[in-house]
Amino acid sequence: MARVVERASPRQLALEILYAIEVEGAYADVALRQRLRHSRLSRRDRAFVTECVYGVVRWRERLDWLLSQVCRYPLCELTPWIRNALRLGVYQCLWLRVPAWAAVHETVALARRYGHRGTAQLVNGVLRALLRQHASWAFPDAATQPVAHLAVVYSYPTWLVARWLERYGWERTRALCEANNRVEGVTLRVNTLRTSPQALAQRLCQEGLRQVAPSALLPEGLVVRGTDRLDTLPSYREGLFQVQDEGAMLVAHACQVRPGQRVLDACAAPGGKTTHLAQLMEDTGWILACDPQWGRLRLVQHNVERLRLRRVALCVADARRPPLAPGALFDRILVDAPCSGLGVVRRHPDIKWRRTPADLAALSALQLELLHAQVPLLAPAGLLIYSVCSNEPEETWAVVSRFLAAHPELHLQPLATAALPPAVRPALREGVLDLTPEVCGTEGVFVACFGRQG
């Protein structure tokens, strides 16, 4: 990837990040954070770059469909630089309402920089033709081509739309696609051991945030808008909050922990659920947080120390082979397992282009292996909680069914409805939480709980 010059323009920086995502496999959030950290862009330009990168990634299928109507070459035959420059130009014109002359001029300049005179002429012609004609085009027909219609209109891979349509039907699939494309602020989990939601909201306003509102679901949640640098706020450094989606917060509530218990968080990094469990336990008892990579476990350590929690211990360990002494038992074991992440495409839209159906089977095998390894560590009256940020059957109900078949000494323990907000209770099925984003605007999450028979 070409090195970003110190004074790269916002559009140049956006294009280089898009190239890194498509060609080098970079994660959108990581690439943005790393490149913006070393830029000298203003807050407004940083916001523009962020919007362009996430927007192009989120709407890639629809952008490519629009471009295919006027480009005389298949997009796959263009270089990644030119393909993404075209997407970037169209996104600015049709989504951000940037004046056409400005967007076309800047995109042609990028095509010349990362291509040559001929590609600059191609980009100029394609963009001008698209802007003249796009209002007259009809998307694939919903009645005769439902998969193609939803894939183009809402910008999703066809394989994912097809499986959702089969499982959920037309209306729910359309609502799910729409919800996953709607981002409405960042959710914070208030560290109630050190402050209150009301006090933190007031503090955030004093620190310059203009839009702070209470969560509609959880009493410890706040929703903020209008900033991309929460980690620079004094209140963040003082440990008064953790950035965490409401769906992820539900997992700790579903664990039904109590002060004084022994808890194992088998797949702890980056520590959002670990620290939430400690908060719900009033920082008493003992939590062992494990992860196989020290680099990732350091994120847990950072959050534990920042939030000033005392009862969390860290262990570099692969949860498939827990390095614990015989007889070490836990009242609660949380397996927040590695998964496809297809429940969090709302905030991480690049996931939908990374995953394939084959990934689901491979991840399902890993998830089962992780669950099997925890059974000997579960206290007689303890609970084993399984969660993933996915709602795909291979990672959810199939895992539950296969796990129970292998462990007749365990049963499915219905989640306590009192532990969950009323708005999400309709997503309970057989005592298992299977919450998709269109229900109440959270990320997708699946939580099942197992206990010993008798």
List active site positions.
389
For 187, phi then psi, to 5°, come to: -95, 135
Q: Containing H/E element for 400?
A: helix 397-406
Torsion angle of the four alpha carbons 337, 343, 349, 351, in this order, in degrees rounded to the nearest 10: 40
Identify the three-state secondary structure at position 385. strand
Q: How many CA atoms lie within 13 A of 294 on its CB side?
A: 0
Query: Can you read off the two tokens belonging to residue 336?
Result: 């927040």
Non-local CB neighbours of 401 within 8 Å, separated by 6+ positions: none
Identify the three-state secondary structure at position 40. coil
Q: Containing H/E element for 365?
A: helix 357-374
Q: How far apart are CA 283 and CA 322, in angstroms?
A: 24
Smallest Cα–Cα separation from 154: which of 63, 70, 87, 245?
A: 63
Q: How far apart are CA 124 and CA 113, in angstroms?
A: 14
Query: Can you read off the two tokens belonging to residue 421?
Result: 């907000």
Q: How far apart are CA 413 and CA 384, in angstroms?
A: 9
Identify the three-state secondary structure at position 248. helix
**DSSP summary character for residue 3:** P
Pairing of strands 186-190, 428-429: unpaired
Smallest Cα–Cα separation from 65: which of 144, 7, 149, 145?
A: 149
Smallest Cα–Cα separation from 85: which of 29, 126, 123?
A: 123
Q: How far apart are CA 75 and CA 88, in angstroms?
A: 14
Q: How far apart are CA 284 and CA 270, in angstroms?
A: 21
